[in-house]
């Protein structure tokens, strides 16, 4: 299914931004990953873009995982969007009681023979908890399941729990914010995972940070340079934010404010 058609089908459904959806869609056409995994699907908007690209390449499947309790607020549900787009045959939807890390445990078990876990996925999109404990574990678990040469991308690079507290929230995806220390609230957990775990992992390279928010890495040993790219739309939003707040936005990997 072409990009414009899938975009029309899911018009107005959160969360993925059209420019990010375009990047993922084009990535799939270019790299043709066969087995894709998405951790955190919400309403399934990003899942539909991935499935549309897989249909376009003529091969590949997506497995996507979210929380069972989240089904309550996920209206429209992913099943509805998949029915609307006719892409359901390419997507396996999984829901776990507490976390996708438990789904990953089951996958590792299923792929293990004689103490060896046979990798399964070519591409993994992590867009879920944004939490150090959960997503650091998810990274190492996904690593066991990701084929050499495979790709991983994290959404929400600079997201912080402080942004939820500022909106008066006490809980995010089942995690109590009031229990957190100041630094845990204020530091972006995904950025920490990317910098301290993914980039330091000897098997990963080809780091790309897009719009200060999406972080890509490839499972191949190599150069540890990071490429920073900004779309025209993001540059505009950034300039507007900086004008409104009268200060520069913190770039990725910069030291934290005191
Ligand atoms: C931002 S939304 C995903 C958006 C979706 N990928 C898109 O772009 O359209 C994050 C999702 O992660 C799910 N989530 C958060 N923590 C999770 C966990 N530990 N295990 C499974 N799903 C989780 C939430 O229920 C939510 O649906």
Per-residue model confidence as pLDDT tens digits over 76-135: 999 999 999 999 999 999 999 999 999 999 999 999 999 999 999 999 999 999 999 999
Ligand 1 centre to CA of 221 (Å) is 29
pLDDT in tens, 35-62: 999 999 999 999 999 999 999 999 999 9
Q: Which two tokens stand for residue 170?
A: 């006490």
pLDDT band at 257 (very low <50, low <70, confident <90, very high): low
Residue 131 domain flag? yes
Sequence length of the chain is 258
Q: Is 46 in the pocket of ligand 1 (CB under 6 A)?
A: yes
| Exposure letters 233-249 (e unless 16+ CB within 10 A, then b) | ebeeeeeeeeeeeeeee
Q: What is the domain-level CATH number for residue 42?
A: 3.40.50.150
The reported pLDDT for the residue numbered 122 is 98
Q: Give residue 258 CA to ligand 1 midpoint distance, Å.
A: 30
Distance (angstroms) between ligand 1 centre and the Cα of 142 equals: 16
Q: Per the domain annotation, does 246 fall within a domain?
A: no
Do 38 and 121 meet the contact criterion of CB atoms below 8 Å apart? no
Residues 168, 199 contacting (CB under 8 angstroms): no
On whether residue 13 sits in a domain, the answer given is yes
- Is 132 among the domain residues? yes
Taking the centre of ligand 1 as the mean of its atom positions, its distance from the CA of residue 234, in whole angstroms, is 23
Which ligand 1 atom sits closest to the C-alpha of 174?
16
In a domain, 113, yes or no: yes
Does any domain span residue 245? Answer: no
| Total domains present in the chain | 1
pTM: 0.97
Q: Is residue 20 part of a domain?
A: yes
Range of the domain at 199: 3-232
């Amino acid at each position: 299914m072409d990009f414009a058609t899938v975009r029309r089908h899911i018009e107005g459904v959160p969360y993925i931004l059209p420019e990010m959806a375009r990047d993922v869609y084009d990535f799939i056409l270019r790299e043709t990953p066969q087995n894709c995994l998405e951790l955190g699907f919400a309403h399934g908007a990003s899942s539909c873009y991935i499935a549309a690209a897989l249909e376009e390449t003529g091969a590949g499947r997506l497995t996507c995982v979210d929380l069972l309790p989240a089904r309550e607020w996920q209206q429209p549900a992913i099943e509805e969007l998949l029915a609307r787009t006719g892409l359901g045959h390419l997507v396996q939807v999984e829901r776990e009681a507490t976390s996708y890390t438990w789904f990953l445990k089951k996958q590792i078990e299923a792929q293990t023979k004689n103490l060896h876990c046979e990798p399964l996925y070519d591409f993994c999109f992590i867009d879920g908890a944004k939490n150090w404990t959960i997503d650091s574990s998810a990274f190492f678990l996904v690593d066991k399941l990701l084929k050499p040469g495979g790709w991983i991308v994290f959404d929400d690079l600079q997201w912080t729990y402080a942004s939820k507290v500022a909106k008066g929230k006490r809980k995010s995806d089942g995690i109590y914010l009031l229990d957190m220390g100041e630094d845990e609230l204020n530091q972006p957990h995904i950025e920490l995972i990317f910098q301290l775990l993914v980039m330091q992992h000897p098997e990963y390279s080809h780091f790309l940070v897009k719009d200060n928010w999406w972080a890509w890495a490839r499972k191949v040993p190599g150069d540890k340079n990071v490429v920073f790219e900004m779309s025209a739309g993001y540059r505009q939003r950034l300039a507007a934010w900086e004008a409104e707040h009268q200060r520069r936005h913190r770039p990725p990997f910069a030291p934290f404010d005191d």
